[in-house]
Amino acid sequence: MSQIIDSNILEKDELAQIVAQLRQAKKTIIATNGCFDILHVGHLWLLNQAKALGDILIVGINSDRSVRELKGLERPIVNEKDRAQVIANLKAVDYVSVFDEANAVELLKILQPDIYVKGGDYNLKNLPEADPVLRKGGKVHFIEFMPRKSSTSLIDKIKALS
């Protein structure tokens, strides 16, 4: 079986070039990010709602190393290449980039999105990514969080069945 390669999974420098072209075309750029370890309905809700806010949705995905830093040594369950493939193949998503930092601040400095989207479990006080977006005139938009819809809750449920 050959490895699936998607042309919409890009490194930061490649993404910067595309974003410049999209800006010239007057497209509204939406960005969000996360671990997306085990895809669930909460992820789909967030991504579909984010896409509805503009023309182009760019999703940053935490690298395996940064997921371990954030979630612990047992995570991620799904490796970064597979997570990127899954997210890149969702209808709402236009581009994906994997980043190695604990947060997406550096990616957002490159993207300078018109709107940055996060789940409602965040707010401006606990969201380091908000600052670079707001400094460049972008907006931060929070999507209502779906309770009990998380990768962690799925993992806990699987462990309870074992």
The tokens describing 116, both together, are: 């940055």
Place of tokens 């190695």: 100
Q: Which residue has the higher pLDDT, 3 or 90?
A: 90
Q: Quick check: 133 and 140 in contact, CB under 8 A?
A: yes
**Spatial separation of the C-alpha atoms in residues 112 and 68, rounded to whole Å:** 27
**Domains of the chain as residue ranges with CATH:** 12-161 (3.40.50.620)
Q: pTM score, two decimals? A: 0.91
Residue 112 CA to residue 3 CA, distance in Å, equals: 31
**pLDDT value of position 157:** 82
C-alpha to C-alpha distances, 49 to 32, 74, 125, nearest whole angstrom? 11, 30, 22
Distance in angstroms (rounded) separating the CA atoms of residues 113 and 39: 24
Q: What is the pLDDT of residue 4?
A: 52
Residue linked to tokens 């042309």: 7
Q: What's the pLDDT at 64?
A: 98
| pLDDT tens-digit readout, 22-47 | 999 999 999 999 999 989 999 999 99
Residues sharing a CB contact under 8 Å with residue 116, sequence separation 6 or more, in sequence order? 30, 31, 32, 108, 129, 130, 133, 138, 139, 140, 141
| pLDDT, tens digit (0-9, with 9 covering 90-100), for 118-152 | 998 889 999 999 999 999 999 999 998 766 667 77
Contacts by 76-82 with C-beta closer than 8 Å and gap 24+? 76/35, 76/37, 77/37, 77/38, 77/151, 77/155, 78/37, 78/38
